[in-house]
Amino acid sequence: MIEAYIVHLLILIGIYFILAISLQLALGFNGLSNFGHIAFFGIGAYTSALLALSGWSFLICFISAGIMAMIFGFLLAVPTNKLKGDYLALATMGFSFVVYAILLNWTELTRGPLGLPGIPRPVLLGYSLSDNFSFLVLTAIIAFASYFVIYRITKSPFGKVIESIRDDELASRVLGKNSFKTKSIILGVSAFFAGIAGSLYASYITFIDPSSFTIMQLVPVLLIVIVGGLASLSGTIIATFILMLIPEALRFVGFPSSIIGPMRQIIYALILIIILIYKPKGFYGKVEMV
Amino acid sequence: MEYLEKRKRGTEDKKMIKSKNKWVFALIMILLLAGIITYTNNPKQQKDEIIKIGAILPLTGATAQYGESLRDGMELAKEELEKKGLNLEIYYEDSAGDPKQAVSAYQNLKLKDTDIIVSALSRSSMALVPIANNDKIPLIMTVVSAKIEKTPYVLRFYPNDTGYADAHFSVINTTKYKKISVLYVNDEFGISLKDAIKRNAKEKGIQVVYEEDFEPGTKDYRTILLKVKETNPDAVMVVGASPAEIIGPLKTMKELELNADFFEIATALSIKSVRSQTDTEGAYTTAFPFVLSKSGNEFREQYTQKYGKEPFFAAPFGYDIVNLISQATKGKKVSGEELLNNIYGLKTFNSSNEEIQIKENGEINPALYSVKIVKGELEEVRA
């Protein structure tokens, strides 16, 4: 029994890890306060779910989810190119509201608030991943591949350019670096990984609706990035485990039924406050939060 | 010298950071260990002979009111059964109405070897249907839309969408009401009830002259109701998921002097504390039998005595579900299949909302009645 529970938690950790490192790439490494990240997750989930429900193979659904989210990432980069800090955060937040409104109101396609139930589990090369363990293997492979790609990007000369734009965009441009192109690529790549995380989420939970992709759902992902430390991939790994496991650990604490829900939330919030008091830059943060 | 001092300071800083890291990790490890120890030492784990119910309810968030009243109802039933010598265990988990959290809660409840799962709200229940069926663990859903596709191990204990609309349309005066407008909350509950209203109106030859949705939590209904006023309807039917979504349109209708009868579909105005928030005189609502004292008087009295407040509409569902499980198992542990067969074997169930038929398709639908508010009290509407 405990194995099934652990497998389930590891799957969620894997999915949220992909989502968090993709946000880390944009926010931590490139300094883009992208509050529309959850919309890419939603676009990926809906693309994958709609294709899967139409009978397309998982591989097509999965790749399409990433590509569709990436296209929206590039599109978002165009109007937000000259925005920074709070202004960029507000603009990208607006984008997530627009995507939510579309998912909610384009009922012919998305079924609106009724959501999409019965999303099939992946079938890869004739092998069905209907049991959670095989799904965990798939998630682990994709999470590792995502980490590897993002790690390589950040360690490459291009990675230094994106960090230089975060630290001083004007200086980078004076040195001949095309900041618009760089930021567009980063938003696109970041959106791609959020999209594939969305595809995994839809295939695993088997039900999605617009409420799963609101700005409130971005909060835990943002927390992982901040607690892990900006521009730190290893910090993101640790933070994903810790922040996903604390609420689960609290399930084992026997509170009276009358206070069970709020009490867990209070303790979770207190732990986060304590972590951030002692580690204001997160576990392995390299840059200050602006 | 300066270099050496800097280096010394750097080493001290690093030591301090390491020490802080240790504290944070120690805190998390203590919490995890405490959890595991609590779990392994839990004496409830040894109660292998009694039936264990896992309740996945929204105990936090915007829909917490439903979860809390369901839990209160379940606890009341448990207490009563214990007095009769029937023991059962209920484990509560918070879903916050979110599918992901509901699945995590379900996996956690499996660790506690629960025999049956009770879930509330459509969003979280929809994610549980396939896994419960796969694990062959019976799942009873309540406060959920009828649009959820059920599987063999899933039952739904709640009025169906037609039941809500039927309550009014079975007694509606078709000569008085020729044109109606429909306002509904834009969620799965609102949409399914709006569809049921339109279907019923068509059958009765009543014209739906205007329909519009509003987002959950909307505060300002002025714009929508101004458009409604232009269509000059005989009645305005409102489907809201929370009391505020009923009180808001009703208040605004009076402010705009929109002279049409107000019909509320989802029982909110049948609750006294909700009715007292504004002038509801002459408005129509739906009510469960226990509210109308047609049944469940004992439940209402005991609930009020225990919690010091009148039961919210969801409370009797929690109470009845626990009693239903208890009747089907006699408090003893049985397999999922046997439990399901026993529930179906009951055929009918004497609930706090009258006697209900347990249908072969897994539907257990309590009746609803159309009522009018006269001098602050509920008066049943008859055809």
Helix axis angle, A2-23 relative to A215-228, nearest 10°? Answer: 90
Dump pLDDT digits (tens) for B334-350. 888 999 999 999 999 99
Dump pLDDT digits (tens) for B87-143. 899 999 999 989 999 999 999 999 888 999 999 998 899 999 999 998 999 999 999
CATH of domain B163-289+369-380: 3.40.50.2300
Chain A residues with beta carbon closer than 8 angstroms to that of B23? 278
Across the range B316-344, mean pLDDT stands at 91
Confidence of residue B74 (pLDDT cuts 50, 70, 90): very high
A12 touches chain B (CB under 8 A): yes
Chain B residues with beta carbon closer than 8 angstroms to that of A282? none
Helix (H, G, I), strand (E, B) or coil at A178: coil
Instruction: Say if residue B338 is exposed, middle or buried (CB neighbours under 10 Å; 0-12, 13-18, 19+).
Output: middle
Contact B35 A118 (CB under 8 A): no
Q: What is the 3-state secondary structure (H, E, C) of chain B?
A: CHHHHHHHHHHHHHHHHHHHHHHHHHHHHHHHHHHHHHHHHCHHHHCCCEEEEEEEECCCCCCHHHHHHHHHHHHHHHHHHHHCCCCEEEEEEECCCCHHHHHHHHHHHHHCCCCEEEEECHHHHHHHHHHHHHHCCCEEEECCCCCCCCCCCEEEECCCHHHHHHHHHCCCCCCCCCEEEEEEECCHHHHHHHHHHHHHHHHHCCEEEEEEEECCCCCCCHHHHHHHHHHCCCEEEEECCCCHHHHHHHHHHHHCCCCCEEEECCCHHHCHHHHCCCCCCCCEEEECCCCCCCCCHHHHHHHHHHHCCCCCCCHHHHHHHHHHHHHHHCCECCCHHHHHHHHHHHCEEEECCEEEECCCCCEECCCCEEEEEECCEEEECCC
Its CATH class, for the domain covering B49-160+293-364, is: alpha beta
Q: Which of A103, A130, A134, A207 to mutate to test the interface with B (most CBs of B within 10 A)?
A: A207
pLDDT score for A82: 87
Total length of chain B: 383
Chain B residues with beta carbon closer than 8 angstroms to that of A112? 186, 191
| CA pair distance B36, B31, nearest whole angstrom | 9
Contact A275 B24 (CB under 8 A): yes
Confidence of residue B10 (pLDDT cuts 50, 70, 90): low
ipTM: 0.88
Dump pLDDT digits (tens) for A123-137. 988 888 888 999 999
- Please determine whether the domains at B49-160+293-364 and B163-289+369-380 fall in the same fold group of CATH: yes
Contact A12 B21 (CB under 8 A): no
- The model's pTM: 0.86
| Domain residue spans of chain B | 49-160+293-364, 163-289+369-380
Least confident window among A225-229, A246-250, B148-152, B167-171: B148-152
Helix (H, G, I), strand (E, B) or coil at A208: strand
With CA atoms as reference, the chain A residue closest to B146 would be A114
Contact A246 B27 (CB under 8 A): no
Using only C-alpha atoms, chain A has a radius of gyration, in whole angstroms, of: 19
